[in-house]
Homo-oligomer: A and B are copies of this chain.
Amino acid sequence: MEGKSELTIGALGKATGTKPETIRFYEQIGILPEPARTAGNYRSYGAEHVRRLSFVRRVRDLGFPLETVRSMLALADQPDRPCGEVDALVLQQLHEVDRKIADLQRLREELDRLAHQCRGGHRMAECRIIEALSP
């Protein structure tokens, strides 16, 4: 490897909580750019890949599909896009984000209530976790 800052695929995986196979998958479908290779044909990753993959994993963990990941990445990859185009996309994502935050807050409240009920030594009288996230 060229220097301390360059990582093998396994090291990149450990740094980002990602399996090597998943990293190769993302490269194949174009989410991650192809990295440089060593003389032994090993992939060699730098800080830019770490950042990009961390982002991808977190957005995925939040339940956004890869198609959405792509469009978010495009915001960073194509900084000169027309503002009207970007505006529409960003507002749509903002709406999704706000909806997820609201749902997580409600879920959090109910889980917190359950935790306190348990710690108070009370019987689990009633779990309203389903109602926290239903109509």
Contact = CB atoms under 8 A, between A and B. Distances in A.
Interface of A: 15, 50-52, 54-55, 58-64, 72-73, 75-76, 79-81, 83-84, 86-87, 90-91, 93-94, 97-98, 100-101, 103-105, 107-108, 111-112, 114-115, 118-119, 121, 123-135
A111 B93 contact: yes
This chain: copies in complex: 2
A121 B84 CA distance: 10
Nearest to A113: B90
- A interface majority secondary structure: helix
A108 B94 contact: yes
Nearest to A64: B63
Contacts of A15: 135
22 contacts: A50-B134, A50-B135, A54-B134, A55-B130, A55-B133, A58-B133, A59-B107, A62-B103, A62-B107, A63-B64, A73-B130, A75-B129, A76-B129, A79-B125, A86-B114, A86-B124, A93-B111, A94-B112, A97-B104, A97-B107, A100-B104, A101-B108
